[in-house]
Structure 1
Amino acid sequence: MTDSNSPVRLAICDDHAVVRAGLRALLDSAPGIEVIGEAGSGPEIVALAARLHPDVVLMDLQLGGDMDGIEATRRITSATASPPHVLVLTTYDTDADITRAIAAGATGYLLKAERPEELFTAIHAAAQGRTTLSSPIADRVLNSLRNPQPTLTPRELDILAQLAHGLGNREIAKALHISEATVKTHLGRIYDKLGVDTRAAAVAIATERRLLN
């Protein structure tokens, strides 16, 4: 938790240089916020966070390369005893993205359509360890609590995404670095949770429930 009299030390991660420049220009003018660094990829932001120890990392989810914003968030939030708070800032609002980001340790989840003032407030809240969600995200979370569906684990969501791309068990195992037997076990659990018995039906239900990116 930061001293209320000190500026929030912020790092920005987005793989688009123009977006980073725009965010930096916007945030440099915000009271009580100091941008101390920026990165354009998952490995870069993980290394930067370890080196500069920001209070908050503003994280995009869709990053180029092998490490997306979810994995970068997981590594940052599990790196030390007092890791930075990660505030997701993205255009994506699927249930899969929200679930995976929160499971990875994100403190808040904002959409890029938010007004600047909402972003400033969320950054200050994140620095104090308080959760901030964009209104559409909060509505989705509340609806899921009121109408609970069987919860898929991050690994099951990963496998569903591979199914949606038409991969077979062997290809999924290779892509996720797990055994075919493990893939089959996860598929059985996915089918049970979604109430289906075929791959096509699993993908159809997942798409309907917006579980896929």
Structure 2
Amino acid sequence: MNNETAYQVFSINPDPRVALLRDVSANVPDYMQLTDGIPLKGTIPESTTFTLSEEGGDMLCDFVENTSGTLIVSSRAREALETEGITGDDFEYLPVTLKDKRGRALKSRFYIVNPLQKVECMDRERSEFSASARTDKILSVQQLVVRQDMVPARLKLFRLGEWPRVIVIRLDLVQRLQEAQLTGLFVVEQGEDFIW
């Protein structure tokens, strides 16, 4: 695999037709822990509900667009991820309910995917990011280039160790999910601007 194309980054889907959630952080009690990839099984109740925003479109996708940088997927997307090995102790699938714009619960089940593996692999020379002048701690990342030699070969989906809000996905997994015709998956190439 070429170092420039082996990994991609989840980003916000710009398609205005896509349905959108705006209330994820407000309805998850330990939201900051969720963005840090801390295990939350048993902490987020199965009764957790999010409502589709009036500001979004009407196209509900397998990868549900949201403004909180959370990976939320349909049952179909969960099955595809699990088929590709996104299972076990490295991941949590936390069940949630979605409501339509009128507040009616959808029959389909959805899941927050919480990758627990964090890998420090950012190429600081070639990535674009903000860091604290005092501590050098990463505050945000705008463009990411991954140091492939730092990533264990078995990992297909993981959080960026330097800033765990960023979820990185290996190109071959992206291709499998696209082949499964899952909707709403939006990733950017390394070195491209992204929002998450």
Q: Structures share a fold, TM > 0.5? A: no
Structure number with larger C-alpha Rg: 1
Higher helix proportion (structure 1 or 2): 1
Higher relative contact order (CA 8 A, sep 6+): 2
TM-score (norm 1): 0.27
Higher strand proportion (structure 1 or 2): 2
TM-score (norm 2): 0.28
